[in-house]
Amino acid sequence: MLIMPPAPPPGRPSPSSSFPPATFWSWAETCPVADGAYHILVIAALPLRIVEVLVADILCSWQTVNKPVKSVDELPEWNFDGSSTGQAPGGNSDVYIRPVAVFPDPLRLGDNILVLCETWDPDGTPNKFNYRHEAARLMEANAKHEIWFGLEQEYTLLAPDNWPYGWPAGRGYPGPQGPYYCGVGTGKVFCRDIVEAHYKACLYAGVNISGINAEVMPAQWEYQVGPCVGIERER
């Protein structure tokens, strides 16, 4: 069953009810649970696995706050058991979550937010999987050069049988490449509704997504983020 979200605030695109499962950093998100109360869901990224694209496993926990959050300065530092996620040893397992940016939540809308976080060890050093911290340090140290940063992410959407959508049943293969790249129309592109829902969600959240396109095989897509100057931390 699909449950359509309420209408977004004026001036923001309405996201679809379907979104591809992907995350590349640590997140916290809030949703109202009672009058004046909001939950924060913290999702911390685990070590990246390289399959066809970069993928991050996630974990989550909830926290309640008593008012809408407008800035990372209003969010507390939190922690979780890193020994259960492969991010810390059992004898010293605390991993601390520090918010670094806030985004409007494209799924729950309203005052709900997504919060980008970094992971830190108890001794005050970045966790070994906190790659963002070093990237931010280098960007800030060289800010006078106005370094541009962007990414191009390709991915393939798989059906429940672990075979790409639109490919012939029974482990069959599509025709030669040619009509699929930036393709339009039946038999050339598949799952455009999911791809456009992701696009709209990024626009709603204020992510600097700059474009999408179908790729060279059926069910393969790409999106681009940027260019950004350095790492845009504050929102």
Residue 82 pLDDT grade (very low, low, confident, very high; cuts 50, 70, 90): confident
- Residue ending a domain, choose from 130, 158, 193: 130
Q: Residue 122 and residue 42: Cα distance in Å, rounded?
A: 18
Residue 173 sits in a domain whose CATH number is: 3.30.590.10
Angle in degrees, CA 91, 93, 99, rounded to 5: 160
What's the confidence (pLDDT) of residue 147?
A: 86
pLDDT digits (tens, 9 = 90+) for 204-230: 999 999 999 999 999 999 999 988 888
What's the confidence (pLDDT) of residue 225?
A: 93
- Range scoring the smallest mean pLDDT among 17-21, 107-111, 221-225: 17-21
Residue 93 pLDDT grade (very low, low, confident, very high; cuts 50, 70, 90): confident
- Residue ending a domain, choose from 80, 108, 130: 130
Asked whether residue 118 falls in the same domain as residue 38, the answer is: yes
User: Does the pLDDT of residue 17 top 60, yes or no?
Assistant: no
Asked whether residue 154 falls in the same domain as residue 126, the answer is: no
160: in domain: yes
Q: How many CA atoms lie within 13 A of 18 on its CB side?
A: 9
**What residues make up the domain containing 39?**
26-130
Q: Residue 234 and residue 231: Cα distance in Å, rounded?
A: 9
Sign of CA dihedral 227, 148, 215, 22: negative
- Residue ending a domain, choose from 86, 103, 130: 130
More confident residue, 86 or 209: 209
16: in domain: no
pLDDT digits (tens, 9 = 90+) for 158-210: 999 999 999 998 899 999 999 999 999 999 999 999 999 999 999 999 999 99
The model's pTM is 0.69
Asked whether residue 212 falls in the same domain as residue 183, the answer is: yes
